[in-house]
Structure 1
């Protein structure tokens, strides 16, 4: 297994939004298996990758859709994660990625929907707008009048695009119980290592009955349902790289593409190709 590298957050206070600059962009290249340590800040954050998939994990807030207070989001470049102000979060590079972050000042996005973390679509226009914003820390250089006017116009369009972005149910709830949390983290890293609860239970040193009870109590779902959501998230990332269906099925531990297709159709009510196009 490749060694992991844990790095601190990239000086978020030097990119803090202000009334004069309510949107701040920054960029960072992360190598495969690099983790940005958990941190929080007083402003909202829109995070995605220009290339490569990332995993964003959050903690410390109660999402209305899940009984757990923690969640993880596995997203390809066509998707992004919204992180509300004050929410503890960490980022992991599933593969080498060009990470982009947009800090959003208080008051730009209001309403209950912006109080919880979620996955959003990234339109081609949104990607272009974020790239057009200067990714510079404080102290900022002086701006010419024309440059300032252009920046304010871009910021206005970014907020419009954020409000229009469609939310996608691609988050996976995480438990508070330490033993089940370790198991879930292992499944997130290698979802295709074991197919059934019996094998995962043996690895965790617990009985299948105990783990089934913990999934119900901690996450309000069954092991099979939770694992299906993890597999879908990883499958979406692989599909975004152009992997054929047979390769995706094999990497996720399915004996055949038809077995994988049956799982996706049963879970989301549509075949994989339609789901990938839709999601």
Structure 2
């Protein structure tokens, strides 16, 4: 069994946005199953990986994202990151004054355009103090920072977040499903592990998350399937890993949930 390694939050205060540098870049390599411990800060954050999938947890939601997708985390939100596989993690820290309004006050998944990807790679990912810059270098960096903000405002939001409950019993069940989404298909099997009746868990899904077990599980499976599809896995392998007896059964679930077959959904999302 692969062991899980836990890391502190990599000294985010060394990259805190300032008046002179309101947008900061940071990068690091996370090994498979490595965790960045829960933490918070007073600035906003955009987190994504160039290679490898990551899971970003907040108190209210979890986001499972492959490369070319990013998670927006508003200021003050407690969050943690887990590498589903080895990930080249990149982070942008943004002063809270840069992107304001209701849309930026909640966490969500955003599409990363090719231009935004290259801009993040080009920004200096170093803590303070910034190495000496020529006037031309400073002008170039500030121009890139402005382009990053424009690209973020143009970025398409994607419905890839999975809500998490406050109830301890249901939270424990949801966390187990996140770790191994294909272990059981039905609520009855999961209820045995949770030590609660299917009726109780069904009620908690409705009360805590405003959805049914089947709907919540479908959203979770879609997020995992998108990650597997980003690795180039064939549909039959994705279906098997997520516990479906056949690719056609998995295709029917995706079509029923999002209104289009997996080939179109994965291409569009």
TM-score norm. by structure 2 comes to 0.99
Alpha-carbon RMSD: 0.7
Q: Secondary structure at the match of 1:52?
A: coil
Determine if the alignment matches structure 1 residue 230 to structure 2 residue 220.
yes
Residue of structure 2 equivalent to 1:156: 146
Residue of structure 1 equivalent to 2:11: 11
What is the aligned length?
A: 269
Determine if the alignment matches structure 1 residue 213 to structure 2 residue 203.
yes
Residue of structure 1 equivalent to 2:32: 32
User: Hey, which bits of structure 1, 4+ residues long, moved more than 4 A?
Assistant: none
Determine if the alignment matches structure 1 residue 239 to structure 2 residue 229.
yes
Residue of structure 1 equivalent to 2:190: 200
**Where in structure 2 are there 5+ consecutive unaligned residues?**
none
Q: CA offsets per residue over residues 28-66 of structure 1, 9 Å max, x none?
A: 11011111000011110010000000000112xxxxxxx
Residue of structure 2 equivalent to 1:268: 258
Q: CA offsets per residue over residues 191-249 of structure 1, 9 Å max, x none?
A: 00001111101111111111101111111110000000000000000000110000000
Residue from 82, 87, 91 that aligns with 1:101: 91
Post-superposition shift, 1:139? 2.1
Larger RCO, structure (CA 8 Å, separation 6 or more): 1
Residue of structure 2 equivalent to 1:136: 126
Q: Secondary structure at the match of 1:42?
A: coil
Q: Secondary structure at the match of 1:24?
A: strand
Q: Secondary structure at the match of 1:185?
A: helix
Q: Secondary structure at the match of 1:179?
A: helix
Distance 2:177 2:143 in 1: 44
Residue from 247, 258, 262 that aligns with 1:257: 247
Distance 1:202 1:88 in 2: 31
Q: Secondary structure at the match of 1:90?
A: strand
Residue of structure 2 equivalent to 1:62: none
- After superposition, residues 3-152 of structure 1 pair within 5 angstroms as 3-59=3-59, 70-152=60-142
TM-score norm. by structure 1 comes to 0.95
Q: Secondary structure at the match of 2:176?
A: helix
Q: CA offsets per residue over residues 95-140 of structure 1, 9 Å max, x none?
A: 0000000001121111100000000000000000000000001122
Q: Secondary structure at the match of 2:61?
A: strand
Distance 2:176 2:69 in 1: 23
Distance 2:37 2:114 in 1: 29
Determine if the alignment matches structure 1 residue 2 to structure 2 residue 12.
no
Q: Secondary structure at the match of 1:92?
A: strand
Distance 2:28 2:68 in 1: 17
Distance 2:15 2:110 in 1: 22
